[in-house]
Amino acid sequence: MSQNEYEVQLQELTGRRVELANKYAVERAGYGKAKADIDIIFAGKIVSMTEKKKNLGYEMGLILLMAQEGEYFRELYKSLVTHLNNYKALERMIDAVESKIMSIQSIMRFYRENDGGN
């Protein structure tokens, strides 16, 4: 590949990185909102829940709330898990794109330092 082809590929990958970062921001914000909503509900119920079960953990509390609060809470929890999984997947994709970008930058640096590899 020529240096120009690497430059085009680098531009495409940089654009892809920005696109993934924007999607990541949306998923992360969705996760934060769902988490905050769940925590508010949890905080309002924790006292009565711990009267029945003394050493109630967060995860068990969420399970009990899903049973008690009905469809709204289940959908909220589902949203939390979906956004979490999506932003974690996007983190991996961003890492992969950044890795490709660094590889291309190394190749381009080699070309510059060695007059095109000749």
Domain boundaries defined on the chain? 3-112
Q: What is the pTM of this model?
A: 0.82
Tens of pLDDT, residue by residue over 34-89, are: 999 999 999 988 888 888 878 888 888 898 899 888 899 999 999 999 999 999 99
User: What is the 3-state secondary structure of the chain?
Assistant: CCHHHHHHHHHHHHHHHHHHHHHHHHHHHHHHHHHHHHHHHHHHHHHHHHHHCCCCCHHHHHHHHHHHHCHHHHHHHHHHHHHHHHHHHHHHHHHHHHHHHHHHHHHHHHHHHCHHHC
